[in-house]
DNA sequence: CAACTAGTGGTACATTTGTACGACTAGTTG
DNA sequence: CAACTAGTCGTACAAATGTACCACTAGTTG
C-alpha cells in the first residue's frame, strides 16, 4: 500500500491467480479433479503456494465452487439487468453455451450442500440466480414454476449438444409464467 | 446350478452383496467416498473380493450409481403403478423422505453424464422416472413443465427438511399440468 | 475321477494426495 | 535502520488408493 508492488499486494494477486486456476480446473475436471497440485500446476506456481493460500483442501474446494457460482450469478445479473424475460433468457442461453463448466459447478455445489447444511444458503442463492428483481411482481406459484423451468433448461442443456438457443429458452420460460 | 450352494452362485451372491454395500456407501458418503476398501468393509468382505468382482474403480462406481438410479425408478414405478398423479406424488414424496441418498445418487449420475456422453441415456432415463405412461396423453409442453416441476421438488427437498409431504408435492405437480 | 476354472483372500507396491517444515527473501513497521 | 513478518518455495512424509500377484480351494466339467 506504500509504493510500487508491495509484497502484500502480490500475495493477494497470487491468491486471485490461484482461484482463477481453480475455476479452470473445476470446469474441466469437476470437484473430483480439484487438488492442490492440479491448481498449482494450472496456475503455474509451486505447490507450496497453493497450500499456503488455502488452509486446507476444503477451503480450496469451497472457495472455488462458491466463486464459480458467484461468477454465474454475476454474469446472469449483469447481462439481464432488469430488462425482462427476453434479456434473462439470452443471458441464460449464453451462460449455457459459453460457460458450461460453471453451470456444472453450480450443481456440484448443490450436491455438496445436500450433505453439508452450512452450504445450503449459498446453494439456494445460486438456484435463484438473479431472478429476485425479475420476478418481483409474480405470485409464488408462478415464480416456482419459472425457477423449475430454468432448472429444467439447465439440466437438459448439460446432456445435449447443441445447447438450446435463446429463442427456445425464452419460449419455455414464458410458458412457465403463463 | 447342480445341487446345494454352488461356487458360481455364491459368487453371484457376493457380487450382489457388494453392490448393496456400494449403495449404502454411496448414499452415506457420495461418489467421493466410494472406494474399493469402503465397499469391502461395508460388505464385510476382504478387499480383494471387491477388486475381483469389479474390473476397476470405474466399473464399481458406475454399477453403484446405475443400480441406485434403477432402484429409484423401479420404486417409483411400482408404487405409482399407472394410477394417476396422486399415486405418483405419493411415490415421489415417499422416495424423498425414505431414500434421500438415492435421489442424490441420481444427480451424481447426472453430473457424471455431463462429462461422459456414454452415460447420457441412463441419466435421461432416470430424469423421466416412470412418467412415460403417466404422461402418455399430455402434450409436449405440459409434459416438459411437469418434469421440470418434479425436478424442482427433488432439488428443493435435498436442501430442506422436513421433506415436502404428499399433498404439497401433488399440488405442485397438478399445477404444472394446468 | 481327473483336469480345470471361477472365486477367495492375503499381501505388496507404485501413485497420488493432503499437509507440515524449514530456510530464505522482500517488503513492512516500530 | 533494525526487528519483524507475510509470502515463497523446495522438500519430505504419512496416509489412502487402485491395482497386480500369488497361492489355495471348492465346485465344475469333460
Chain A residues within an 8 Å CB radius of B125:
none
Q: 3-state secondary structure string, B13-64?
A: HHHHHHHHHHHHHHHHHCHHHCCHHHHHHHHCCCHHHHHHHCCCHHHHHHHH
Supply the pTM of this predicted model.
0.92
Segments of chain B scoring below 50 in pLDDT = 1-3
> From CA B4, how far away is CA A88, in angstroms rounded?
66
Per-residue pLDDT, A94: 96
C-alpha cell at B20: 448393496
CA dihedral of A155, A158, A161, A166, whole degrees rounded to 10: 60
pLDDT > 90 fraction of chain B, expressed in percent and rounded: 87
pLDDT, position A5:
65
Q: What is the pLDDT of residues A44-87, one digit of tens each?
A: 999 999 999 999 999 999 999 999 999 999 999 999 876 799 99
Q: Identify the pLDDT of residue A77.
A: 93
C-alpha cell at A6: 508491495
The nucleotide lying nearest A6 (C-alpha to C1') is C27
pLDDT score recorded for residue A3: 40
Protein-contacted bases of chain C (C-beta within 7 A): 6-12, 16-22, 26-29
Q: Is B1 on the interface with A (CB under 8 A)?
A: no
* Protein residues in reach of strand C (CB < 7 A): A 1-3, 5-9, 33-38, 47-48, 51, 56-58; B 7-8, 10-12, 14, 45-49, 52-53
Q: With an 8 Å Cβ cutoff, is B83 touching chain A? A: no
Query: What are the chain B neighbours of A155 within 8 Å (beta carbons)?
Result: 110, 127, 151
Q: Residues of chain A whose pLDDT is less than 50?
A: 1-3
Q: What angle do CA B87, B143, A151 make, to 5 degrees?
A: 100
pLDDT value of residue B5? 67
Question: Do residue A145 and residue B147 have CB atoms under 8 angstroms apart?
Answer: no
pLDDT, position B161:
85
Give the pLDDT confidence score for residue A2 in this predicted structure: 41
Amino acid at each position: 500500500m506504500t509504493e510500487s508492488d508491495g509484497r502484500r499486494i502480490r500475495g493477494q494477486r497470487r491468491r486471485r491467480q490461484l482461484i482463477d486456476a481453480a475455476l479452470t480446473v473445476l470446469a474441466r475436471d469437476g470437484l473430483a479433479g480439484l487438488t492442490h497440485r492440479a491448481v498449482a500446476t494450472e496456475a503455474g506456481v509451486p505447490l507450496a503456494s497453493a497450500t499456503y493460500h488455502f488452509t486446507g483442501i476444503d477451503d480450496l474446494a469451497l472457495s472455488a465452487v462458491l466463486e464459480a457460482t458467484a461468477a454465474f450469478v454475476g454474469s446472469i445479473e449483469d447481462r439481464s439487468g432488469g430488462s425482462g424475460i427476453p434479456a434473462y433468457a439470452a443471458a441464460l442461453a449464453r451462460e449455457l453455451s459459453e460457460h458450461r463448466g460453471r453451470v456444472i459447478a453450480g450443481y456440484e455445489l448443490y450436491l455438496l450442500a445436500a450433505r453439508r447444511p452450512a452450504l445450503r444458503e449459498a446453494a439456494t442463492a445460486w438456484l435463484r440466480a438473479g431472478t429476485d428483481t425479475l420476478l418481483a411482481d409474480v405470485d409464488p406459484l408462478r415464480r416456482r414454476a419459472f425457477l423449475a423451468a430454468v432448472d429444467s433448461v439447465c439440466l437438459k442443456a448439460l446432456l445435449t449438444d447443441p445447447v438450446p438457443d435463446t429463442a427456445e429458452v425464452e419460449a419455455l420460460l414464458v410458458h412457465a409464467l403463463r
